[in-house]
Structure 1
Amino acid sequence: MSPRPAALAAAALLASAGLAGCSSDTPSRGGSGSTTVPTASSGSSGSGGSGSEGGGGGLQVDVVAEGLANPWDIAFLPDGGAVVTERSGELSYLPSLEPGTEPVAISAPLDDVYAQGEGGLMGLALLPEPAQGWDQPKLVACLAHAEDGEPVDVRLVELTVDVENSRATRDRDLLTGLPVADGGRHSGCRPTMGEDGLLYVGTGDTADPAAPQDRTNLGGKVLRLDPATGEPAEGNPFADAADEAERYVYSYGHRNVQGVAQRPGTEEIWTAEHGPSFDDEVNRIEAGANFGWDPAQGGSVDSYDESVPMTDTERYPDAVAAAWSSGETTEAICGAAFLEGEQWGEREGLLAITALRGAKLLLLSIGDDGSVDEVEIPQDLVDDFGRLRAARTAPDGALYVTTSNGEDDKVLRITPES
C-alpha cells in the first residue's frame, strides 16, 4: 500500500519549508469549556441565547488524518481501520484510527461520479456481515452517477474493499433512480445501517418543488430497504403502493437530509436536515409521516419557493414538527451520530450534529419523549477546524468528524478529555 499523492505532496511542502523536523507531534487540542443553551421547544435556536458553561467536562480533539478534499463520510472496518469518501470520487483507506495516520488511496471504478455542486461521491456505510462470513468487507456508497458527462441519477452502489491491495470492486447497483439536478443541488444521500439490519437512507429534494410531497419521487425522503436484496424493506409504510418507488419511502416531506442516526437501544431514527436560510431541522422520524416541506405550495406554484415553512402545518395539519430547529438563521447542519459508551459520562446518549456554515459541533440532549432539552456547543470545535460534515461513532465509542473546507481536510477524533 502506498500513501495518497496529496499526502505525499503535503509532506514535501513541509520539508521544503524546513518544518518537517517540527511536525512529528500530531495536532490535538484539549477542551476549554462549552456553552450549554436550554431549548424550551421545537423552533428554538440551539446556537443563540445566553449560555452557561457545560458540565460534561472537556473534549479531546485529535487529527487522525489530513490532506483530504471534502471528505463526505467515513465507515469503520473490522480490521480497526476506516474508509473515507471524498466528493470528487476518491476513496481513501485509513489503516489506523490513531492520530497521524497516512491516508492510502483506494483504486475503484468510480469514473462515473458526477462531482458538481453538492453532488459527487457521498455517504458510506459498512454492510452487515452475512452468517457465512466474508473474506473482505462490503460497503454501500451513495454517488451521483453520470453518463457521457451528463447527470443521470443518484444511486446506491455496493463495493468490496481489498485493503491489502488498495483497491475496491464495484459489485452491483443496490438502488438507482434517486433524482439528481444538473448543478448537483440538494443531492444529499446518507446511508445508515439500523440495528434491525435494514438500510436507512436520507435524500435531498434536488430543488424540485414537487419532489418532497410526491411519494413516487425518491428525493426529499428517508428510504428504508433491505441491503441484501436492494428491495423495499418488509413492513414499510407504503409497501402496498402501486408505484415501486413509493414502496421504499419511510418518511417524506423533507428538504435535504444530511445526517441519519439510530438512537442506541431504541428503534428511533433521527435525521439532520438543511433548511433554506432558516430552520435547519433535527427530526425524530415516524414511519409514513409527512415532515411538511412543500416548496410547490400544494402544486399551486411551479417555482421552488424557499420562503415556505420547513414544516408547513397550515397546509399539512398532521405534519410532524421538528424536535429542534435553528430558528431564524441556518447553521447548515449535516452529520448526525449518538455518543455511545460510559466513557462519555454525562454526555452519553447525546446526539452530535455537525455544522457546515456554523463551523461547530452541536450536542443535543434528548428526553425520553423525544424533546430536545438543551444544546451544548463545545468551544474547541467552534471555527477552529472550519466546516464540519460527517459525524460517525466508531466501535470504540469515539466520535469521528470530517472537515469540509475544500483542501487539506481532516478526519478528527473526539473523545472525553482524560
Structure 2
Amino acid sequence: MRALVAAGLLLASAACSTPPPGGNAPSKVPPPQGLKVEEVATGLEHGWDVGFRKDGSILVTERPGRLKLVRNGQVTPVDIDLTDVKVQGEGGLMGLVIHPDDQRFTVCYNTVSDVRLVTFRLDGTKATKTKNLLTGMPSNPSGRHSGCRPTLAPDGTMFVATGDIAQGRNPQDRTSLGGKVLRIDAETGEGAKDNPFAQSANANERRVYTYGHRNVQGVVVRPDSGQVFSSEHGPDVDDEVNLLKAGANYGWDPSKGGTQGGYDESVPMTDLKRFPDAVPAVWSSGSPTEAICQPAFWHGKLAVTALKGTKLLLFTLDAQGEVQNVSIPDQLNDKYGRLRAARTAPDGSLYLTTSNGSNDKLLRLTEDG
C-alpha cells in the first residue's frame, strides 16, 4: 500500500496529492497559491542546516567544514576551529541547533573516529568551543549514512537524528547510537531521564528514543501536539516520513537478525515479517525515491525537502498525524536543484538551503499576502 501511495505522488502534477491511507482514490489538492521565494544569500557550498538568532542573523553550516553568519543578505565567515572535521562523501559538518540563551550553539560533524555533537559559544563572528556534548556516534570512513541533525524539543531536550553508517547490525542494536533517533539532555549529552530505556545499564541505550532506522535526516515536533516526526532515506525505494513513538522499532534490519554479513539493502524499510510490532511509515516514496531530507512545520503543514527530487513536499496531516494529501509548490519544483535544510523562522517564514555543490543558496519562503 505504501508503494501505491507513493506512486500517486510521483505521477501527480503540483495540483495532485498522494492517495490518503486506506487506499481511497487520490484527492485533488490545489498547489499553494501566492508563495514567494526570496534568495537571502548566495555563494554557499552544500548548506546543511540553519539556525536563527534573536538579532535577526542566521547561522548556516556548510558540509565542507565552514560556518557562515548571514545578516541582511551579507555572508560572513565565522572564526571557528573545525580542524577536526572529516569531510568525506556524505560526511562533514552537518546539523546545527541554537540554544535558548542565544549565545551557544551545537553542531554535529564527522571526525576521523566518530560523529559527534560539539557545543560552541558565539561572540560577534568568533565561536569558541565549550564542550563535546556527545561523542562516539559511529562513523563510516566513506562518510556514508552519517545522519546527523539535532533539534531542540519544547521541553528543552534535544532530539538527534543519526544514520546507521551502512553497517547492518547498528539499527537493531540499542547499544549503538547509529540508525536511531536519540533524545538527550541538551546540557550534559546524557539520555533524557524519562526516555524509554532510561533504566538500562548501558549509557547509549539510555539515549535511544526510537531505533531500527536507516539514515534519519531530521526530526521535528508538531506544534501544540507533542507529535514527533522524522524523515528518512530509503535504499532504492521507500524514503519514509515516520511518526515517532517512544521506544518503538521502525523495522530496518539489513543484518537479518545478525545472520547476514555486510549490508543487505534488499530488506524492507519496515520489516513487519521479522518485527510484527514495528511501526509503519505514515508516508513512503515507493519507487523511485525522492531522497527526502529535513522536515519542518510551516503554516500547519509538514514541509519536507527533497535532494534527488529537487522539490518541496507539503504534507497535510490529520489530528492523529496521518497523511491526508501531499502538494508540491510550483515555485520550488525543480527550480533550485537539490533542497536540503528546512527550518521555520521566528517570523513564520520557511528557510531552505540548496545543496548543489556550487553557488548554493539560502532561500526564504513566504505566503504572499
Report TM bin, short chain: over 0.9
Q: Following the alignment from structure 1 to structure 2, what is the Cα–Cα distance between the partners of residues 59 and 195?
A: 28
Give the corresponding residue for 1:162: 123
State the shift of 1:416 in Å.
0.7
Does residue 1:125 correspond to 2:97, yes or no? yes
Change (3 A) 1:53 1:223: closer
Alignment of 1:1-16 (within 5 A): none
Give the corresponding residue for 2:303: 352
Scaled by the length of structure 2, the TM-score of the pair is 0.94
Amino acid at match of 1:270: F
Q: Following the alignment from structure 2 to structure 1, what is the Cα–Cα distance between the partners of residues 29 and 163?
A: 36
Give the corresponding residue for 2:55: 79
| CA offset digits 1:236-289 (Å, max 9, x no partner) | 000111111110000000000002111000211110100001100000110000
CA contact (8 A) 2:212 2:252 kept: yes
Change (3 A) 1:116 1:51: farther
Which of 1 and 2 has greater Rg?
1
State the shift of 1:43 in Å.
10
Does residue 1:188 correspond to 2:147, yes or no? yes
Amino acid at match of 1:128: P
Give the corresponding residue for 1:258: 217
2:86 pairs with 114, 118, 121, which one?
Answer: 114
Does residue 1:313 correspond to 2:272, yes or no? yes
The RMSD of aligned alpha carbons is 1.6
Give the corresponding residue for 1:40: 20
Q: Following the alignment from structure 1 to structure 2, what is the Cα–Cα distance between the partners of residues 316 and 50?
A: 30
Give the corresponding residue for 2:64: 88
Alignment of 1:278-289 (within 5 A): 278-289=237-248
| CA offset digits 1:108-143 (Å, max 9, x no partner) | 0100101101110000001122xxxxxx61101001
1:143 pairs with 98, 109, 117, which one?
Answer: 109
Q: Following the alignment from structure 1 to structure 2, what is the Cα–Cα distance between the partners of residues 305 and 417?
A: 47
Q: Following the alignment from structure 1 to structure 2, what is the Cα–Cα distance between the partners of residues 215 and 352?
A: 30
Give the corresponding residue for 1:207: 166
State the shift of 1:53 in Å.
5.5
Task: Count residues in correspondence.
Answer: 357
Give the corresponding residue for 1:216: 175
CA contact (8 A) 1:386 1:405 kept: yes
Amino acid at match of 2:197: F
Does residue 1:233 correspond to 2:192, yes or no? yes
| CA offset digits 1:175-233 (Å, max 9, x no partner) | 00000001000001110000111100010000000000000000000000111222111
| CA offset digits 1:308-362 (Å, max 9, x no partner) | 10000000000000010001210000011001xxxxxxxx210000000000000
Identity over aligned residues, as a percent? 52
CA contact (8 A) 1:43 1:326 kept: no
Q: Following the alignment from structure 1 to structure 2, what is the Cα–Cα distance between the partners of residues 193 and 288?
A: 19
Which residues of structure 2 form unaligned runs of 5+?
1-12
Scaled by the length of structure 1, the TM-score of the pair is 0.83
Q: Following the alignment from structure 2 to structure 1, what is the Cα–Cα distance between the partners of residues 259 and 21?
A: 31
Amino acid at match of 1:331: E
Does residue 1:273 correspond to 2:232, yes or no? yes
CA contact (8 A) 1:95 1:103 kept: yes
Question: Which consecutive segments of 4 or more residues in structure 1 shift more than 4 A?
Answer: 49-53
Does residue 1:415 correspond to 2:335, yes or no? no
Does residue 1:65 correspond to 2:41, yes or no? yes
State the shift of 1:51 in Å.
7.8
Q: Following the alignment from structure 1 to structure 2, what is the Cα–Cα distance between the partners of residues 35 and 111?
A: 47
